[in-house]
Structure 1
Amino acid sequence: MKKNKFVCKNFFVVIVALNLIMHLASVGANDEFKQWMQNQSTGVMVEKKSFQEYKDKRDKDFTNFLKAQWKAVDIVKGKVRDEAPKPDVMPVVTPSVEPPTPVDKPVFIVVPKPEAIKTPVVAPLVVAPKGKSIRVDFFGKQVQFYYDEKLKQRLDANINKNSVSSYWSALSKTDYENLLKQLSAQKKSLQLNDWAYASLINKLATGINNSNRNESALLSWFLLAKSGYKARIAYNDSSIYLLVPSKQEMFEISYFTFDSVRYYAVEFDGNKQALGQVYTYDGEYPNTTKNFDMQVTSVVASSNKDEQRHLSFKFEGKTYNINVTYDSGRVKFFSTYPQLNLNMYFDSGVYKVTATPLQKQLASHMQNMSEQQAVNFLLRFVQTSLKYETDEQQFGEENYLFPEETLFYPYSDCEDRAILFAWLVQSLLKLQVVGLDFPGHVATAVNFNGPVKGDSVTYQGKHFVIADPTYINANVGMTMPKLKQYKPVVINY
């Protein structure tokens, strides 16, 4: 009995000892874990502090740079793409009264399915509401932001390097990062290209600064640089100018060149500036790497506010009525776009609101036509349903139009029609089309699947038959008489 008591007592002591050891071990582990967490937290705080010090130093160094590194430069007047005058009136071919040729092989047309692209929408707020609220009308879409009120600064009356550097310094001390997060979220959700993103920043900066032009330009410059773009500014006695480099050449926009890179003095309202001599600096804000990419997508700046226009034309003795739909937001957006090389317009996308209904209507009339007849049908649609005027007559200056603009404006000229026609032929008939650049005129040429008679060009070993969407009632293979003496430059895209 005593032996059993002894065993039980010893067993109890062992259990207590084990519990005590486990408790002490647990306490030690908790202490170690707490210490590890504290070290991690301290490390994060040190890292954040180090990064903040780096940013502060970066802005301090750039502020000091702006106080010294300015020089006078003469802005170069923007290049004009084609100075040859366009005819005020287009020649007309007397329509043929012969019956249409019997069709041996009718063309088979499949209306392209709309691009599987997510519809652009305004992004939900990605940060906690902080600061002052502002609502921006972005080509028909209402976009809300919250911003630090200190981003609204007043520029000294005397514009010089000191006032500009002080302005940057003041902006760099604000809580601008929350605003950059909101802008980044909207760029992604609205599927903005670089010009659209800069336009959004400009509208926001204009709203924050109550439409004061110079302050708006400075805030746009600051936000673009903080977004990674190689934006700069220039100034004279009265004005601040925003300067940006572009991957694509811009026409009729003043610029200056540093290290073989052109910096264009851009405006976001479609207007052009004549600057003369200004002061600017040769350098970039740290870690800015991006030039503007002006490529247009088929969804950028869509507002989902549709408008319609009725068009009518005759082909082979029959009248056709077509209803055209376009997005008003995209039309407004395109009106702000700088003039680019023609290949950019030929290669631009067309928004599904415009593309699909137009393609369906035209395709329904073309199903039993031959390939050549179908191309002539599209030629007649562009030639005669749209009224002709030169850009000088309609806009007072050269103004290339994207396809949706051509369908919106009351008039269009040769390159606008060529661009629209090329898109229709490629999207509906799957035929390769190139642009043809004559002195003072732009036409197209089509690579058919079979032999087609008429004027033609050879490009990259392929046979292209001329198709002129501005030569009224002309069929494929017909060149304007005054242009037959010229060899056109081929516009590939």
Structure 2
Amino acid sequence: MKHRVITSILIAVAGTASAVAQSPGGSFAEFRKGLLEDYNAYRKGVMERYDQFLDGVWSDFQQFKGEESSTVPKPDRVPRVGDFPESKPEPVLLPDPTPATPAAPVATVPQPEVTPQQPAPQQPASQPARIPEGNFDFKFYDLPVTIPAIDINITDRLSSPRDFASQWRNLNKNDDTKLLIDEIEKLAASMSLNDYLKYELVSAYVDSRFPSVHSTSRMALKHYLLVGMGYDVRVGMSGNTAVLLIPFRQTVYARTYMKVNGNKYYIFTDKSVNPQSIINMRISTCELPQNANTGSAMDLKIKGLNLPYKPHRYDLKFKDLTLSGEVNANIFPILYRYPQMPTADFARSTVLADVREDIVKQLKAQLQGKEELEAVNSLLQFVQGAFEYATDEALHGFEKPYFLEEILYYPKCDCEDRAIFYTYLLWNVLGVENQLINYPGHESASVKLSQPIKGDAYHHGGNTYYISDPTYIGSVTGMCMPSYVREKPGIDYTYGK
């Protein structure tokens, strides 16, 4: 957390750093020292007082069923030009306001191979679990990882708020617990894990280290570690079941949540708990002062992963365009059940920068010298033809949006996967400004061309964007699926200057 919090703050104030350094009596070193002191004050204040909150009032909060990213089902069959009766094109309605803009360009489903790690059956123990000296080896999505074995104690089972408060105090008295937090942070940093994957790492460590301890005690330890890392994670109870309540910067679809003081906290359970039972739980959590600095929400965006390398070969071809190379297969188990966030955040994320750079380099070389519209349509029809179509439900059994890198692994993909891939290539290969857009039950794209053409388009922000749909097989830029011609597209993401 020390690295995460300080880095994010430093980035946020980078534009004012020189002014701070030039101010009378001020320096960047002093400014950075202040950030460190603020972080240490947060950690000391929250960690030392949290047992009082756990020992205080616990209240029930209303639960809400997970939101759906779309209530309109995607087509089971890929749409093709000629599937629809001919009709005279009509103007596409104006879209919603512009979203954030990115920086300038720079068969059988092969399910990721991962062995589920279930905690061992809970067994009563006469003594608290202890960690021996030496190193502790465990698995993170089947990847072997190691941290020093830290000597901490946790209670065998927690059954009341007083028990949670007592365990918190015991952990807080042990300086080695702070060392454990720092070691987990170092391990996470070595793999470039984001906030959510740090939660997964903490869970893997705790579940592996204390497999026979009751889930209430394990969840309480996870809560302690995550709060110590600077996150506003809460612990809740429903009967004999403990849960973690985690806030995110993004909306998370298809996951039950609670509202605490107007903020969404998504419910995470131990792996031994049936996820379907969450909606029927009556969950209570301790009340925290509304003006207290209780930590930050987690960010689901990914900004690169650094994992041991396991090659997976990909080869794509359609007409005169080809793509081939390798991608690190160790990313796929980690991403397979990743929380569903808005499409724009999948587009904003970068999992493997080197793979993207190689793709861009290959396609730039093949499209070099072509006129803008010809290059756009070549890229469009490559994405249309290089991949087979299937809905997530048909292929995976659940809604599974892909990060860009995942389209290189799975044999089939749907409209949003193609649109994310295509819009990235338009901007980074061709430098063509474009928008990732949505219709009810469908994700598409549009492009801003340097010269006007005839076709389906809409005006936005003083610019004309032509529909360029990577899932409408056989179409070219300027052709909108007839069923969406009268629909107003929503803008998810804009690539542009």
Q: Deviations over 1:418-447 (max 9, x none)?
A: 001111111101111111211111100011
Which residue does 2:403 correspond to in 1? Answer: 402
Q: How does 1:36-185 map to 2 (within 5 A)?
A: 61-93=49-81, 131-139=133-141, 142-156=144-158, 159-174=159-174, 175-185=176-186
Q: Do residues 379 (structure 1) and 380 (structure 2) align?
A: yes
Q: CA deviation at 1:266?
A: 3.4
Structure 2 residue identity aligned to 1:264: Y
Which residue does 1:243 correspond to in 2? Answer: 245
Q: Do residues 291 (structure 1) and 297 (structure 2) align?
A: yes
Structure 1 residue identity aligned to 2:53: F
Q: Deviations over 1:276-335 (max 9, x none)?
A: 2212122179753211122221x2254332211222323xxx5x4432422223222222
Q: CA deviation at 1:357?
A: 2.7
Which residue does 2:24 correspond to in 1? Answer: none
Which residue does 1:475 correspond to in 2? Answer: 476
Structure 1 residue identity aligned to 2:72: A
When residues 151 and 415 of structure 1 are mapped into structure 2, their CA distance, relative to the original with a 3 A threshold, is farther
Q: Deviations over 1:36-90 (max 9, x none)?
A: xxxxxxxxxxxxxxx99x96x9767532431331122332111112111111012
Q: CA deviation at 1:182?
A: 1.4
Which residue does 1:8 correspond to in 2? Answer: none
When residues 169 and 439 of structure 1 are mapped into structure 2, their CA distance, relative to the original with a 3 A threshold, is same
Query: How many pairs does the alignment contain?
Result: 402
Residue aligned with 2:374, SS: helix
Which residue does 1:339 correspond to in 2? Answer: 340
Which residue does 2:458 correspond to in 1? Answer: 457
Structure 2 residue identity aligned to 1:401: Y
Q: Deviations over 1:16-48 (max 9, x none)?
A: xxxxxxxxxxxxxxxxxxxxxxxxxxxxxxxxx
Q: Distance in 1 between matches of 2:413 and 2:48?
A: 52
Q: Distance in 1 between matches of 2:233 and 2:270?
A: 14
2:250–2:299 Cα contact (<8 Å) kept: yes
1:325–1:357 Cα contact (<8 Å) kept: no
**Overall identity of the aligned pairs, in %:** 27
2:46–2:294 Cα contact (<8 Å) kept: no
Q: How does 1:268-279 map to 2 (within 5 A)?
A: 274-276=278-280, 277-279=282-284
1:147–1:176 Cα contact (<8 Å) kept: no
1:343–1:492 Cα contact (<8 Å) kept: yes
Runs of 5+ consecutive residues of structure 1 not aligned to the other structure: 1-50, 96-111, 114-128
Match of 2:261 among 245, 259, 268: 259
Q: Deviations over 1:106-143 (max 9, x none)?
A: xxxxxx77xxxxxxxxxxxxxxx993421233456543
Q: Do residues 198 (structure 1) and 199 (structure 2) align?
A: yes
Which residue does 2:350 correspond to in 1? Answer: 349
1:139–1:301 Cα contact (<8 Å) kept: no
**Structure having greater relative contact order (Cα 8 Å, sep ≥ 6):** 2
1:168–1:222 Cα contact (<8 Å) kept: yes
Q: CA deviation at 1:235?
A: 1.7
Runs of 5+ consecutive residues of structure 2 not aligned to the other structure: 1-39, 84-104, 107-130
Q: How does 1:404-443 map to 2 (within 5 A)?
A: 404-443=405-444
User: 447-456 or 138-147, which moves further after superposition?
Assistant: 138-147
When residues 59 and 383 of structure 1 are mapped into structure 2, their CA distance, relative to the original with a 3 A threshold, is closer
Structure 1 residue identity aligned to 2:330: G
Q: Do residues 361 (structure 1) and 362 (structure 2) align?
A: yes
When residues 479 and 230 of structure 1 are mapped into structure 2, their CA distance, relative to the original with a 3 A threshold, is same
1:331–1:404 Cα contact (<8 Å) kept: no
TM-score (norm 1): 0.74
Q: Distance in 2 between matches of 1:468 and 1:353?
A: 27
Residue aligned with 1:176, SS: helix
When residues 378 and 340 of structure 1 are mapped into structure 2, their CA distance, relative to the original with a 3 A threshold, is same
Q: CA deviation at 1:392?
A: 1.4
RMSD of aligned alpha carbons: 2.9
Q: Distance in 1 between matches of 2:203 and 2:132?
A: 21
Q: Deviations over 1:336-381 (max 9, x none)?
A: 3211111112222251342133223322321232211111111122
When residues 301 and 202 of structure 1 are mapped into structure 2, their CA distance, relative to the original with a 3 A threshold, is farther
1:311–1:324 Cα contact (<8 Å) kept: no
When residues 452 and 152 of structure 1 are mapped into structure 2, their CA distance, relative to the original with a 3 A threshold, is farther
Which residue does 2:226 correspond to in 1? Answer: 224
